[in-house]
């Protein structure tokens, strides 16, 4: 595997930014000294069919939807120096999950804008015909001044019309909508649900439907007896914002926002005080 100081085509790797099960992300520069984030696939085995398909899907979807201020910038992807990689805009910042766990000031000072920007980023993705399927705080980057980027499109799929049952069931259970956990037909409204879970977490620093297993998460989603509205945890949450979050978390997808643009409109109306 490449190491700090090694070159991949025109890019020199400098520092390992992040490492996951399937890939690593490096800070790199080109010959002109411009910085990039280079994502490298870890498993180059010819038999790594699933990993390679997901990696390439993420690259192709990003190439289709980039060019928006709230989506990480795309540069190129493919085999470079013998390595399968994706070259992206470099953003100096941290993911929302880490910042929330630290109760970082950049989150508390920019909370309303973060809520709006996350919805606008999803709106852009949906307007281009894709659903993210893994929307969660870990896949939202924030810079030191609160600028946001949506990342990681490996699980993204074209929005089915009408809703369609997925062949596989990708995603993170705590952010998956009831219809997805039940293996029922889904569409972009699973992202609206995931947005609601993330917004609830931002406002309360806890999950609305905690659970150690997908079955436990689903049980809490369907049986709301233990559900606590966000304003009962954080009294600063205004009624209008709570109403928006609760609509995102409706059990029946028909009762959620039908299009993300309506969610964005209501957020802006409520939060631009």
**Model confidence pLDDT, tens digit, residues 110-145:** 999 999 999 999 999 999 999 999 999 999 999 989
- Which pLDDT band holds residue 264 (cuts at 50, 70, 90)? very high
Domains of the chain with CATH codes: 7-89 (3.30.200.20), 93-271 (1.10.510.10)
Is the previous residue joined to 32 through a cis bond, with omega within 30 degrees of 0?
A: no
* Contact call for residues 109 and 166 (beta carbons, < 8 A): no
Buried b (16+ CB within 10 A) or exposed e, 104-116: eebbeebbeebbb
Is the per-residue pLDDT at 94 higher than 70? yes
- Annotated active-site residue 134? The verdict is yes
Averaged pLDDT for residues 88-102: 96
User: What is the pLDDT at residue 3?
Assistant: 77
User: Which member of 30, 117, 134, 191 is catalytic?
Assistant: 134
User: What is the pLDDT at residue 50?
Assistant: 85
User: What is the pLDDT at residue 6?
Assistant: 85
User: What is the pLDDT at residue 271?
Assistant: 95
Closest CA to 141 of 7, 35, 37: 37
Least confident range from 11-20, 30-39, 191-200, 252-261: namely: 11-20
H-run or E-run covering 270: helix 260-271
Is the per-residue pLDDT at 228 higher than 80? yes
Least confident range from 51-55, 133-137, 152-156, 246-250: namely: 51-55
Share of the chain above pLDDT 70, in %: 98
More confident: 168 or 247: 247
More confident: 167 or 43: 167
* Contact call for residues 138 and 175 (beta carbons, < 8 A): no
- Which pLDDT band holds residue 1 (cuts at 50, 70, 90)? low
Is the per-residue pLDDT at 273 higher than 80? no
Share of the chain above pLDDT 90, in %: 86
* Contact call for residues 99 and 149 (beta carbons, < 8 A): no
* Residue 175, Cβ density class (10 Å: 0-12 exposed, 13-18 middle, ≥19 buried): buried
Average pLDDT, the chain: 94
Averaged pLDDT for residues 200-218: 96
User: What is the pLDDT at residue 63?
Assistant: 97
Q: Name the one residue in this structure whose structure tokens are 């600028």.
A: 147
- Which pLDDT band holds residue 60 (cuts at 50, 70, 90)? very high
């Amino acid at each position: 595997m490449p190491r700090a100081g090694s070159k991949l085509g025109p890019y020199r790797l400098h520092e390992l930014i992040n490492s996951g099960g399937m890939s690593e992300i490096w800070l790199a520069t080109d010959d002109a000294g411009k910085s990039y984030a280079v994502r490298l696939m870890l498993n180059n085995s010819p038999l790594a069919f699933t990993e390679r398909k997901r990696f390439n899907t993420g690259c192709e979807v990003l190439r289709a939807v980039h060019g928006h201020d709230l989506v990480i910038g795309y540069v190129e992807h493919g085999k470079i120096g013998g390595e399968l990689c994706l070259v992206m805009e470099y953003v100096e910042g941290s993911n929302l999950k880490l910042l929330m766990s630290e109760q970082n000031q950049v989150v508390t000072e920019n909370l309303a804008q973060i809520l709006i920007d996350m919805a606008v980023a999803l709106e852009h993705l949906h307007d281009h015909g894709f659903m993210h399927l893994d929307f969660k705080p870990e896949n939202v980057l924030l810079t030191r001044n609160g600028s946001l980027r949506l990342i990681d499109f490996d699980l993204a799929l074209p929005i089915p019309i009408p809703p369609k049952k997925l062949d596989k069931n990708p995603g993170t259970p705590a952010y998956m909508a009831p219809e997805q956990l039940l293996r029922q037909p889904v569409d972009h409204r699973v992202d609206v649900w995931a947005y609601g879970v993330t917004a609830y977490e931002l406002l309360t620093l806890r999950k609305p439907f905690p659970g150690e297993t997908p079955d436990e998460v689903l049980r809490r989603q369907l049986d709301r007896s233990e559900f606590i509205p966000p304003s009962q945890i954080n009294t600063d949450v205004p009624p209008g914002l709570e109403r928006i979050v609760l609509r995102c978390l409706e059990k029946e997808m028909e009762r959620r926002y039908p299009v993300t643009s309506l969610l964005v409109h209501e957020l802006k109306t409520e939060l631009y005080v």
